[in-house]
Structure 1
Amino acid sequence: MPESQYLIVGQGIAGTSLAWELLRRGQKFLVIDDPALPSSSLVAAGIFNPLTGRKLVKTWLADTIFPHALAFYRHVEAELGITCLHTTDLFRPYRNEEEKTSYLKWAASDEYAPFVASGQPDFSDDAFIRAPYNGLSVNRSGWVDLPRFLENSRNYFEKLGCFEPAHFRSQDLDIGEEAVQWQGRSFEKVILCMGVGAENDPLFNWLPFNPVKGQILNCRIERYPHSRIINQGIFILPAGNEKVRVGATYSWHDLDWEPTEDGRDYLAGKLKSLLKVPFEIESQVAGIRPSSKDRRPFAGRHPEHDRLFIFNGLGTKGVTLAPYFAAQLVKLLLDGQEIMADANIGRYFSLYSNPRKP
């Protein structure tokens, strides 16, 4: 018989959300994570925003996943006695009168109106932000302090005896009829939540991963007063004590974890055009987002091995996608309820060389 029900590989936003959901359902699990590997979750700004892109597109499943995510993080905060969820409006300066007209038209529609803040601020004469046409303030936005969330979760799991630092290789798995063996221990099921790197793993490298590099600047703006997130091509995320985080870049080439001068120059140029005041760059970080070709998560059961699962491909919206699809994956694990088709890896079974029929 298996010693533990589930082995979760990876303690980023995916693996941690899955662990909390299994804990809520009273399940026994072990989370393992290699501290020597870089983590995109620890670099990410953790921003969530229901209206994205230049054309103000509503985030996929925003009406469902945003309330779920807020409830999830508040539950975790209560369990850990910390604050990691920060809700705030997001202000989008209009670039011109045409954009202002379009945004206000969308904001008045039944689909978009719930995401528009009731009290619209006036930034047209703001001393810090350049917004001559003013802008649109979006509610239901905010950010999650991911390093705080992940570190405190890890410490909590460690005290429960269900976290260990460990290096993982899928070649070390012995997938049998009754259980999966790993390093002399037996598990009922294994869920790979490795983030970046899964695209090279022999068990799931047939999935269409599309990792993307992102860079962020940590800056200081003297006497910066705003608590809202500012977003116009880049974001300005207030971090307290005159500090802000500025990002992000997107690159599908040169996929390493090193900040670049090009990335620094790009973000600094965008920030200079958005600010009326000087700023100081204090540091720069880079990460690789575990994204998919269709920008939808990878969640579900391996096409050949019933005891092997994956939870990955969360991309830039991991803070809201992870809690919701962790819950869906747990319903599959415990209740046999299939994950929705848009996120289920069954949509790509045709890419696997020898899939069994589901």
Structure 2
Amino acid sequence: MTADYLIVGQGIAGSVLAWTLHRRGKKVVLVNSSQRPSASRAAAGIFNPLTGRKLVRTWKADQLFPFLKTFYAEVERELGVQLLHFTNIYRPYRSIEEQNSYLAQTADAAIGQYVAESVDNQAYRPFIHNPFDGLEVTKSGWVDVPVFLEAIRFFFQEKEQYIEADFDYKSLEITEEAVLWNGQSFRKLICCEGPHASENPLFSWLPYNPVKGQLLEVTMDNYPITNIVNQGVFIMPVESNLYRIGATYTWHDIDWQTTEDGKVFLEQKLQGLLKVPYQVVGQRVGIRPATKDRRPLIGLHPVFPAVVIFNGLGTKGVSLAPFFADQFADYLEGRKELDPEVNIERTFSLYYRENKVV
């Protein structure tokens, strides 16, 4: 056996899972084409326990958020990089009605635990339109995804467990107990191809619902706010005078091209929120590996037990991946069952229908 696991794809999902399995003493080989466009490399990496216009608690936030902080902190220590940037998220109220609604919601302890008790609205006022004040979400921040991906790739390259290549499924041989590829044998093949998963012939039947998103990078000389600001779009400080503005969400024209429409949309939203001048210096695009039921796609192939998938993390990959990689590693080692909300068994009827299996 060459290795325990062959992981195809080194985005957030593949990188987190590779590290998780490595830390459990498993030998992992990563196959990745860094020339292919990547959703992860364009991701802002924000983790936010309260999302949406109606201030909804992120699915499984109470489990995900402590886990992600422990996970990325360990990678930081082991690999000597900075990944975690903790910052509150300031949400200006759009109206008195929204203010009243949000404040009523924070009386619920499940929501209130993620909201700051007091906010210095005056500190934001010279820079942000906030006529109705706002609230601050706590236990939030962002992960430097490009630095994380580069650190993981370098780690496995140093161990000679990284292969730079386009994975060709035609060269794969699947047996009951293993997969054979490129003259090597692996106990399991794990597919972590993000938005490219629909091109994978083994899992093309899964209910993907990819979402195109665009970000702007801007510079500002007179903007001292260090928290993320979010109302319609987010303003995320990255480094001195550099900020990311995002994001667009489109389910049509799914390609890897930035668009003028996307830029105009973000700038219109930004100008309604920001009081100080800025300059656009860059634009990024990514295709998020979302699913129709907004839940990850994790588990064993219905016919080939040596082939598995860890994908469909959507817009919340940095927060979902560590928790579910740990759960999936336990599952692969026979220690526990997968959460049925993420197990691809929920979609098996699609496979049998497509393959006319009775």
- Residue deviations 1:314-336, cap 9 Å, x none? 11000000111111111111125
The residue number in structure 2 matching 1:301 is 300
The residue number in structure 1 matching 2:329 is 330
Matched, 1:52 2:51: yes
Once structures 1 and 2 are overlaid, which stretch shifts more, 51-60 or 163-172?
A: 163-172
Contact 2:222–2:276 (8 Å) recurs in 1: no
The residue number in structure 2 matching 1:249 is 248
Unpaired segments of 5 or more residues in structure 1?
none
RMSD: 1.4
Contact 1:123–1:131 (8 Å) recurs in 2: no
**Structure-2 change in CA distance of 1:258 and 1:251 (3 Å):** same
The residue number in structure 1 matching 2:36 is 37
Task: Indicate the SS of the match to 2:195.
Answer: coil
Task: Indicate the SS of the match to 1:152.
Answer: helix
Q: Distance in 1 between matches of 2:115 and 2:234?
A: 18
Equivalence map 1:82-97=2 (5 Å)? 82-97=81-96
Equivalence map 1:339-354=2 (5 Å)? 339-353=338-352
Q: Percent same amino acid at aligned positions?
A: 51
Once the two structures are TM-superposed, the CA of residue 110 in structure 1 deviates from its matched residue by 1.5
Q: Distance in 2 between matches of 1:348 and 1:240?
A: 43
Q: Distance in 1 between matches of 2:286 and 2:240?
A: 25
**What letter is aligned with 2:351?**
Y
Matched, 1:267 2:266: yes
- Residue deviations 1:121-153, cap 9 Å, x none? 214862111101110100011000000011011
Matched, 1:213 2:209: no
Q: Distance in 2 between matches of 1:179 and 1:322?
A: 25
> Normalising by the residue count of structure 1, what TM-score does the alignment of the two structures yield?
0.97
Task: Indicate the SS of the match to 2:176.
Answer: coil
The residue number in structure 1 matching 2:235 is 236
Task: Indicate the SS of the match to 1:330.
Answer: helix
Q: Distance in 2 between matches of 1:129 and 1:170?
A: 51
The residue number in structure 2 matching 1:312 is 311
**Structure-2 change in CA distance of 1:278 and 1:328 (3 Å):** same
Task: Indicate the SS of the match to 2:121.
Answer: coil
Q: Distance in 2 between matches of 1:320 and 1:252?
A: 22
The residue number in structure 2 matching 1:155 is 154
The residue number in structure 1 matching 2:99 is 100
Q: Distance in 2 between matches of 1:169 and 1:235?
A: 39
Q: Distance in 2 between matches of 1:67 and 1:288?
A: 27
**What letter is aligned with 1:217?**
L
- Residue deviations 1:224-275, cap 9 Å, x none? 1011000001100011211110000001111111110000000000000001
Once the two structures are TM-superposed, the CA of residue 161 in structure 1 deviates from its matched residue by 1.9
Once the two structures are TM-superposed, the CA of residue 299 in structure 1 deviates from its matched residue by 0.5
Contact 2:143–2:318 (8 Å) recurs in 1: yes
Q: Distance in 2 between matches of 1:356 and 1:92?
A: 50
**What letter is aligned with 2:81?**
I
Q: Distance in 1 between matches of 2:308 and 2:255?
A: 27
Contact 1:120–1:136 (8 Å) recurs in 2: yes
**What letter is aligned with 1:60?**
W
Once the two structures are TM-superposed, the CA of residue 29 in structure 1 deviates from its matched residue by 1.1
**What letter is aligned with 2:73?**
R
Q: Distance in 2 between matches of 1:336 and 1:349?
A: 23
Contact 1:9–1:194 (8 Å) recurs in 2: yes
Unpaired segments of 5 or more residues in structure 2?
none
Contact 1:124–1:130 (8 Å) recurs in 2: no
